[in-house]
Amino acid sequence: MVETDVLCLQSESVQHMKKEKILVIGASGQIGVELTLALRKMYGGSQVIASDLREENELLKGTGPYVSLDVMNKEMLHVQILRQNITQVYLLAAMLSATGEKNPPLAWHLNMQSLLNVLDIAKEEKLSKVYWPSSIAVFGPTSPKVDCPQHTIIEPTTVYGISKYAGEFWCNYFFQRYGVDVRSLRYPGLISYKSAPGGGTTDYAIDIFLGAKEKKQYACYLKEDTKLPMMYMPDAIRATIELMEAPAEKIKVRTSYNLSAMSFSPSDITSEIQKHIPGFKSTYSPDSRQSIAESWPQSIDDHEARAHWGWNHQFDLEKMTIDMLANLNAL
């Protein structure tokens, strides 16, 4: 292809991107803040509307429009989508695994109804794309522990996992029956330093860095050998955007894609941090989150995401630890 063709294609795709108007629901959360900032970089600040039930996150202020929105209020959601000429929705509002177990009916209601509201409006208004994340929490004690495949026995035992698994089938249903282009990833535990985590079982892998930096010690609520699938936030944001930018014919899994980067236990990450902070110590007092963690696989086979739309992680435990500590020290 000659250089002018490439320039032409690039300018066509920039024009196409400019026409998209995106609504991020749950934009003040752990993923929402970073995803909104990344989308604003690509599409322009004014093209990406951040929304949440809680106040606008400090990092989002001045980077683009913000609206206060309860995704459970379908009428108001519909009005916002029409008023703002929204073409794509990223739905991130949810109750995570540990918080969900404290109030199962509320977790089920929020996690299911928010998705049904968005899918219904997407169908009616013919939105171009919808993104909704699932989780490794769909897997349960009967799923394979190591390299858990995309298609396997799936019997979740948390209300969060049940809601994610049901949600995956609603996504598939709306795609098959109504042609809604909804895409999804089963995120592992996500590690980040920009915004606080929202009540998951994997949150220890963030808190441990804060403990190491502030007190050179950390009291972990999981047993030291509890290995879980994890991912650094820059990889998760890139995966989300790559999935959403991929041509529709490459998306062959319309429930939700397995996605993987690294797996480690509390004792593995403690040893990794000790390489940079000598004298750092973790202690272990497992609580109710231990049984949730034990119900999930230790590692995930994501070869379908890699084969279908070219997923490839960049951060392993070593690289992520260096980056987390450097960024936390710079705060």
Give Cβ neighbours of residue 192 (< 8 Å, ≥ 6 apart): 30, 34, 206, 232, 233
Active site residue 160: yes
Q: Which stretches of the chain are DSSP H helices?
A: 3-19, 30-43, 74-83, 97-102, 104-125, 159-178, 204-215, 233-245, 266-274, 289-295, 303-309, 317-330
What type of residue is 206?
A: I
Cβ closer to ligand SER: 211 or 229?
229
Of residues 64-123, which lie at the interface with ligand SER (CB under 6 A)?
A: 96-97
**Which of 100, 133, 140, 266 is in the footprint of ligand NAD by CB under 6 A?**
133
151-210 positions binding ligand NAD, by CB under 6 A: 187, 189-190, 197-198, 200, 202
Binding mask 80-119 for ligand NAD (x = CB under 6 A): ------------xxx-x-------------x---------
CA gap 254, 55 in Å, rounded: 33
Nearer to ligand SER, 32 or 64 (CB): 32
3-state helix, strand, coil in the chain (%, to 5): 50, 15, 35
> Of the two residues 101 and 181, which places its CB atom closer to ligand SER in the complex?
101
Residue 201's binding partner among ligand SER, ligand NAD, none (Cβ under 5 to 8 angstroms by kind) is ligand SER
The rounded distance, in Å, linking the Cα atoms of 186 and 133 is 6
Select which of 43, 90, 131, 160 is catalytic.
160
In total, the chain counts a number of residues equal to 331
- State the amino acid at position 246 in one-letter form: A
SS3 290: helix
Least distance between ligand NAD and beta carbon 126 (Å): 23
Q: Which is nearer to ligand NAD, 80 or 282 (CB)?
A: 80
Q: Which residues are catalytic?
A: 160
Chain contacts with ligand NAD (rule: CB under 6 A): 25-26, 28-32, 52-54, 69-72, 92-94, 96, 110, 133, 135, 187, 189-190, 197-198, 200, 202
Chain contacts with ligand SER (rule: CB under 6 A): 96-97, 135-137, 160, 189, 200-202
